């Protein structure tokens, strides 16, 4: 059995493919054989040691990378009730966060960060940390869901998405495109930003109602507000980081929401929270989501026949294949998701 490991926190040079001996299953565990994986922006941080809380890579390398996969159940523990061999499933980003609010103890289960991830020929997981794939998706499409799509789902649902709301989503990465697709599925209007007119055109084809090129409109919050008739947007899917948060707060309506998702890279640009106060904003930290949220997302995907947008698919044969996927993500030129497949 093969798996990939990040041997140390010294960069992608530490990525290696190794053989491993699968451990026997506990009574409530399930073994899955991933058929496809996907990358997320957070995965770029792991080769450098991750961010606070990713103890595995920091204190006990190597780390098996990646949180996102889709595959088949190949073995079940003696007491497993929810799954059978042959079931098509995805792992949950936090296998221990089943329902309700995230608790501190569940953080340690984050795949490919606090805990070993899924870039392996087989993976052992607790049955409570798996969901059934949407029936309308291929393995490659379903592999896009666990981190980015669940994040977009939680961000939209915590702020009580309703038809007719206006959502502003920043950029065209995985979370943003899922937010666009889910919000359209739910009858909302969507404003999207990008520095590329070509990407904006693709977003428009996916249903975006308004497209703002932030290169030519660096004050993108102003046209966003104008597009809502001066009211402001109901929820900003804020994936951009310190450089954008101040504008996101401006773009939101009074009593609106800003869903904080982005991994911030320039802390010196921290925004003033004064606007949050005087506009009675909710700034909601979003950290992926629970299994129950993932299951609800799967129902929505099936009901609306939503298909994740895959930008490019890489192989999993060699370290070079996998490294190429990481480097493509790093280049930032993608639109939607980057997949690795068998």
Residues in contact with its own copies by the rule CB under 8 A: 26-28, 51-53, 79, 98-104, 107, 157, 160-165, 182, 185-189, 231-232, 242, 245, 253-255, 260-264, 267, 270-287, 290, 292, 296-304
b/e code 67-84 from CB counts within 10 Å (16+ = b): bbbbbbbbbbbeebeebe
Instruction: Report the residue number, 34 or 50, with the smaller CB distance to its own copies.
Output: 50
Q: Measured from the CB atom, is 14 or 240 closer to its own copies?
A: 240
How far apart are alpha carbons 304 and 226 in whole angstroms? 30
Rg (C-alpha) for the chain, rounded Å, is 20
Q: Are strands 166-170 and 29-38 parallel, antiparallel or unpaired?
A: unpaired
Beta carbon of residue 290, minimum distance to its own copies (angstroms, whole number): 8
- Phi, psi torsion values for 31, nearest 5 degrees: -105, 130
**Is the Cβ–Cβ distance between 238 and 245 less than 8 Å?**
yes
Nearest approach, Cβ of 160 to its own copies (angstroms)? 7
Residue 11 or residue 164: which is nearer to its own copies going by CB? 164
CB-based contact 310:5 (threshold 8 Å): no
**292 class by beta-carbon count within 10 Å (0-12 exposed, 13-18 middle, 19+ buried):** middle
Q: Which residues fall within 8 angstroms of residue 293, CB to CB, at 6 or more apart?
A: 150, 153, 154, 157
Choice between 287 and 328, CB closer to its own copies: 287
Task: Report the distance separating Cα 238 and Cα 5, nearest Å.
Answer: 31
User: Around 30, how many Cα atoms within 13 Å sit in the side-chain half-sphere?
Assistant: 28
- We find the least distance from the C-beta atom of residue 103 to its own copies, in angstroms, to be 6
Least gap, CB of 316 to its own copies (angstroms): 29
- Closer to its own copies by CB, 5 or 248: give it: 248
Here the tokens at position 196 are 């590329």
The residues facing 123 across adjacent strands are 32
Please state, in angstroms and rounded to a whole number, the distance separating the CA atoms of residues 231 and 13: 49
Q: How far is the CB of 19 from its own copies (least distance, A)?
A: 26
Our CB check for its own copies shows the closer of 101 and 205 to be 101
CB of 102 to its own copies, least distance (A): 5
Asked whether 251 and 236 are in contact (CB, 8 A), the reply is: yes
Among residues 14 and 171, whose Cβ is nearest to its own copies?
171
Q: How far is the CB of 131 from its own copies (least distance, A)?
A: 13
Nearer to its own copies, 18 or 254 (CB): 254
CB 15 within 8 A of CB 5: yes
Give the nearest distance from C-beta 106 to its own copies in angstroms. Answer: 8
- 45 by Cβ neighbours in 10 Å (0-12 / 13-18 / 19+) ranks as middle
């Amino acid at each position: 059995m093969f798996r990939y490991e990040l041997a140390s926190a010294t960069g992608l040079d530490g990525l290696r493919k190794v053989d491993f001996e699968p451990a026997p299953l506990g009574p409530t565990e399930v073994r899955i054989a991933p058929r496809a994986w996907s990358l997320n922006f957070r995965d770029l941080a792991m080769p450098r040691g991750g961010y606070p809380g990713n103890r595995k890579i920091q204190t006990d390398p190597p780390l098996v990378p990646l949180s996102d996969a889709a595959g088949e159940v190949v073995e079940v523990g003696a007491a497993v009730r929810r799954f059978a061999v042959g079931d098509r499933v995805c792992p949950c980003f936090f296998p221990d966060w089943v329902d309700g609010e995230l608790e501190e103890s569940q953080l340690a289960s984050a795949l490919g960060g606090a805990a070993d991830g899924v870039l392996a020929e087989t993976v052992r997981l607790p049955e409570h940390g798996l969901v059934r794939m949407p029936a309308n998706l291929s393995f490659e499409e379903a592999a896009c869901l666990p981190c980015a799509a669940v994040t977009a789902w939680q961000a939209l649902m915590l702020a009580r998405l309703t038809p007719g709301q206006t959502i502003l989503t920043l950029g065209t990465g995985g979370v943003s495109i899922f937010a666009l697709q889910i919000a359209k599925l739910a009858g909302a209007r969507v404003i999207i930003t990008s520095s590329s007119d070509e990407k904006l055109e693709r977003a428009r084809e996916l249903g975006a109602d308004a497209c703002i090129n932030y290169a030519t409109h660096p004050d993108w919050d102003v046209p966003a507000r104008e597009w809502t008739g001066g009211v402001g947007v109901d929820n900003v899917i804020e994936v951009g980081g310190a450089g954008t948060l101040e504008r996101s707060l401006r773009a939101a309506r009074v009593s609106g929401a800003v869903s904080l998702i982005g991994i911030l890279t320039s802390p010196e640009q921290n925004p003033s929270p004064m606007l949050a106060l005087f506009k009675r904003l909710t700034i909601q930290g979003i950290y992926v989501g629970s299994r129950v949220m993932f299951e609800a997302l799967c129902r929505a995907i099936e009901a609306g026949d939503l298909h994740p947008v895959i930008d490019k698919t890489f192989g999993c044969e060699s370290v070079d294949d996998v490294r190429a996927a990481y480097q493509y993500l790093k280049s930032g030129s993608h639109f939607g998701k980057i997949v690795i497949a068998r």
